[in-house]
Amino acid sequence: MVFVFLHELGHALIDLLDLPTVGKEEDVVDEFATWVFLKGAREADPQDAEVAIEALLLAAESWRLLWKGTEAELKRGKALPWWDEHSLDIQRYYNILCLIYGSNPGRSWPLVVRSEMPIERARKCEHEWPQKEKAWERLLAGKYVPEGQPRPPGEWGRFVFLYGEARSEFGRQLEEGMRQTGGFAQIVDALNEVLLLPPGEVPVIGKDCGFANAYWSSSEKKIVLCWEMFRFFLDAYVDELKRTAAGQGGEPPAPPGPAPQPAGLEMGPLGPHLRPGQDGPWSFAAERGAWIARNTSNPGNLWRIRAAGSEVPAGRRRFGVGLEMVADQGTRGAGLALGDQESGGAFYLLRTAQGPLELLREVREGQSVALATLQRWPLASPPTAPSRLELVEDGQAVEILVDGRSVGGLRDPGLGRGPIGIAAWGTGTFTFRGFFLADAAVGRPTPPPALAPAPALDLRIAGTWTAWPADAQGRRTTIQLQLLEDGRYLETSWLPTGLVQRVWGRWRTANSRLGLQPEGQDPWQSCGPQGCWPLPLPRPVDLVYRPMAGGALQIGPHLFYRGS
């Protein structure tokens, strides 16, 4: 419904600010609402940006669901209202997805795949988004306060959110929830901080109307949001959930527990991220405390696994690993990994199959990855001989040791930051032993942190909860959230692709907010043609929650769980 409000806000601004429009106004204000979402996501921190994109996808999904209902009516002989001022619901769905994709093609490519949008259309979206963004920024120039700029002096108008009559039980519950969480009042307050409106107050009224609608009244200069519109969209989702639940036999399969760390594995902070099995061309096993990676088919594949979140500050770490290689014609090398693209650069200290020790930097070339050699050190021992590689940080400089002896060093602005781990490149069998991490400043491993005091728990919500949110294609993900009374939680997601993902950690409650602090996940890494890398832990969650009648639980603005 935030999208619906922003849609009506677009109508209001066109009227109040006398903005020109070229084309159907309904399409124009859809584009405005999408632009506001995407602009907010770009300027927000990563967690808030994800929430904004998810809310926008939920809005697009609403139009897809409504189109499914229209399709059913067309099959029963109902005529399509070609004369309507709104585009078809399915067109509105794809137009929103087009702008989401065009704003960030690299991140949003899965939307194109899942929604079955033709590639030719997606390519046009990459040009449409900059056009729309430029158009709205030019139209609103001087009519809003740019980020980081002071609000100009003068008397400016403002929107005022008001609660009208709530005659239905649904309307009363919705109003109560919004009063508790802030709802649209918070959004209106935020808009008043940036919009430069003509003097006066413009009401935004939420109420029971007797019909499902939301509209801008040009004659009365007010926005009206009908609570029945909320119910209309909610019923569409409930109907879809019922169809999904019926297709799944009513309940998701029972979730197995998290995969345990291999017994006896001695790989320090990497241990929780290592799991035996097959991933792309790589197979993994734990034998006698060592970690063994094998690649028999793809000589160009780079596998790496990195861990972050250490208590040892980046820039003064000392870490290393024992290494042994069984090489073949496709073996390139193996050793330590440092940093990633997000932290300023990914580096690899590899004992190569050709003999020298090399420090390489990851270089992106379009969609592919190449490794560029920064420095090379000759070694006396053969490359297949067991060796121990160590790297000692001193800010942006590193010292390199082999079997306890210094062989050289290097300084680079990208060094001394980001996660650390191990890597293997090419075919062969690579055995890693005894990965360790210590504080180079004190020369001894950092002790584990003290346990935090037990958090407060609202035991009313302890138990098992299930929700069925949809992706951009409308395919349902089943999410089962188990909140245990001892403060642990397990969240299991059955994705439309068939993948089962589990995240576990600790939960807490305070001031009607639910916090989820992830501690582990399975699967723990992703592999592709260019190699393997660890999946980052989901971000901690801190959202408003509300137990509801009928054994339901609302978490955040969009997720409704059913208790079992």
State pLDDT tens for residues 510-564. 888 999 988 877 766 665 555 556 667 788 888 899 888 778 898 987 788 888 7
Write out 316-364 in H/E/C secondary structure. Answer: CEEEEEEEEEECCCCEEEEEEEECCHHHCCCEEEEEECCCCEEEEEEEE
Q: Tell me which residue has tokens 């794809």.
A: 94
Kindly report the CATH number assigned to the domain that includes residue 487.
2.40.128.280
Alpha carbon distance 198, 81 (integer Å): 37
Whether residue 150 sits in one domain with residue 128: no
Determine what percent of the chain is predicted with pLDDT higher than 90: 16
Which of 108, 102, 226 has its CA nearest to residue 175? Answer: 226
Whether residue 153 sits in one domain with residue 298: no
Whether residue 498 sits in one domain with residue 416: no
Whether residue 423 sits in one domain with residue 287: yes
Q: Is the pLDDT of residue 474 over 70?
A: no
Question: Is residue 262 in some structural domain?
Answer: no
The mean pLDDT of 253-265, rounded to a whole number, is: 51
Whether residue 280 sits in one domain with residue 242: no
Whether residue 431 sits in one domain with residue 285: yes
The residue from 250, 280, 298 where one domain ends is: 250
Question: Is residue 453 in some structural domain?
Answer: no
Question: Is residue 501 in some structural domain?
Answer: yes
The mean pLDDT of 167-171, rounded to a whole number, is: 85
Whether residue 559 sits in one domain with residue 490: yes
The residue from 121, 139, 157 where one domain ends is: 139
Whether residue 408 sits in one domain with residue 283: yes
Q: In which band, very low, low, confident or very high, does the pLDDT at 294 lie, cut at 50, 70 and 90?
A: very high
Q: Is the pLDDT of residue 335 over 90?
A: yes
Whether residue 425 sits in one domain with residue 292: yes
State pLDDT tens for residues 396-443. 889 999 988 888 888 888 888 888 999 999 999 999 998 888 888 764
Kindly report the CATH number assigned to the domain that includes residue 286.
2.60.120.560
State pLDDT tens for residues 4-50. 889 999 899 999 999 988 778 888 988 988 988 888 888 777 667 77
More confident residue, 237 or 495: 495
Question: Is residue 362 in some structural domain?
Answer: yes
The mean pLDDT of 326-337, rounded to a whole number, is: 92
Question: Is residue 491 in some structural domain?
Answer: yes
Whether residue 528 sits in one domain with residue 381: no
Q: Work out the number of other CB atoms within 10 angstroms of the CB of residue 147.
A: 9
Whether residue 415 sits in one domain with residue 296: yes
The two beta strands, 201-207 and 222-226, are parallel
Q: Give the C-alpha distances (Å, rounded to integers) separating 182 from 103, 104, 157, 224, 348.
A: 29, 30, 21, 18, 49
Alpha carbon distance 483, 313 (integer Å): 33
Single-letter code of the amino acid located at 147 = E
Residue 110: which domain range?
A: 20-139
CA angle 259, 264, 265 (to 5 degrees): 70
| Count: domains in the chain | 4
Q: Is the pLDDT of residue 54 over 90?
A: no
The residue from 124, 139, 154 where one domain ends is: 139
Whether residue 337 sits in one domain with residue 198: no
CA–centroid distance for 344 within its chain: 20
The mean pLDDT of 133-159, rounded to a whole number, is: 87
Question: Is residue 280 in some structural domain?
Answer: yes
Q: What is the value of pTM for the model shown?
A: 0.47
Question: Is residue 30 in some structural domain?
Answer: yes
pLDDT of residue 368: 54
